[in-house]
A = this chain, B = another copy of it.
């Protein structure tokens, strides 16, 4: 289209050729200097470095990766940037500091149509090799056997194939429901998450287990799909809470869903926690900003990210690693849960 009509001067970007010309050497020589490779006379090395400095040259990630296999960057593949993944990102970022690797986070789902397979697509686009290794967040499908090391965070179905890090979803769900039971609730609904994610299935299993252990039969009409999304959860919650036999408490599969439930309750004039108790899962930062502040099962999100990085770095180093790390969850009681009214 309207590409700049740069002939060969230096309007936009400085290439290795520009440096070579300015320094009066050949391109490979510049390459060697830039990559700290030996076989270059100290004098020329200095001269080239000076020119590199002056021109502000940086090797193009693109060109380099096309040719060489190592780029020194780790890719983080996420469906989109929402609280869950950005918290993970923070943990990954601080764990990466000082390792010499840079981070490249890629959101492949911004196309709107939330087509599955974004993880395969993104991995395929970046691998090749723009990145040396990848951390894939909530892949909902099996990852293709890629040529680079890959670690999955909270993947589709149990530990399998790729290295995985996740938290004890089932145990966390039990804690959540037990908290509700201890408060005296018996009609407890569950807004479950994306069916393609193992974590969602495990949370539902934990919900059922806790209820079963308390001798309460599961009312299947109290199980609704929230897809881990605020809007979707709000919608189903509105219907649920409008029923005459509405539950006194809701266990949402993640915080976004719980926030959706909170909105639905507010719309219907229900007070939380007086008329309805709500509990979430994740403990993203915004869980503390809701009205009332959300009681939730905390996942150590930043540690989760840090663990993923640790595993990936080990794989990158060629060291043997365990293929599955599972972290614990803890109950974080705030103000959205209380004894039922009656």
A interface residues with partner B (beta carbon < 8 Å): 1-4, 6, 11-14, 56-63, 65-66, 69-70, 80-83, 86-87, 89-90, 92-94, 96-108, 110-112, 120-121, 124-130, 144-148, 284-286, 288-289, 293, 318
Contacts and interface: CB of A to CB of B under 8 A. Distances in A.
A125 B58 contact: yes
Contact of A120 (B11, B56, B286): B56
Contacts of A14: 124
Nearest to A89: B81
A58 B13 CA distance: 27
A74 to B, nearest CB: 9
B147 A4 contact: yes
A83 B285 contact: yes
B103 A13 contact: no
A144 B56 CA distance: 9
A126 B97 CA distance: 20
| Interface residues of A, dominant DSSP | loop
Given A58-B121, A147-B4, A285-B285, A81 B103 contact: yes
A96 B116 CA distance: 19
Nearest to A305: B81
Residue with the greatest number of chain B CB neighbours at <10 A, chosen from A60, A94, A129: A60
- Stoichiometry, as copies per complex, reads 2
A148 B3 CA distance: 9
Contacts of A13: 124, 127-128, 146-147
A186 to B, nearest CB: 31
A305 to B, nearest CB: 9
A130 B1 contact: no
A66 B69 contact: no
Contacts of A110: 93, 96-99, 101-103
Contacts of A6: 147
A197 to B, nearest CB: 20
A13 B13 CA distance: 29
Contacts of A147: 4, 6, 11-13
A130 B288 contact: no
A100 B93 contact: no
Nearest to A103: B107
Contacts of A102: 106-108, 110-111
Contacts of A101: 110
Contacts of A60: 124-125, 128
Contact of A104 (B82, B92, B105): B105
Contacts of A89: 81, 86, 89
Contacts of A128: 12-13, 60-63
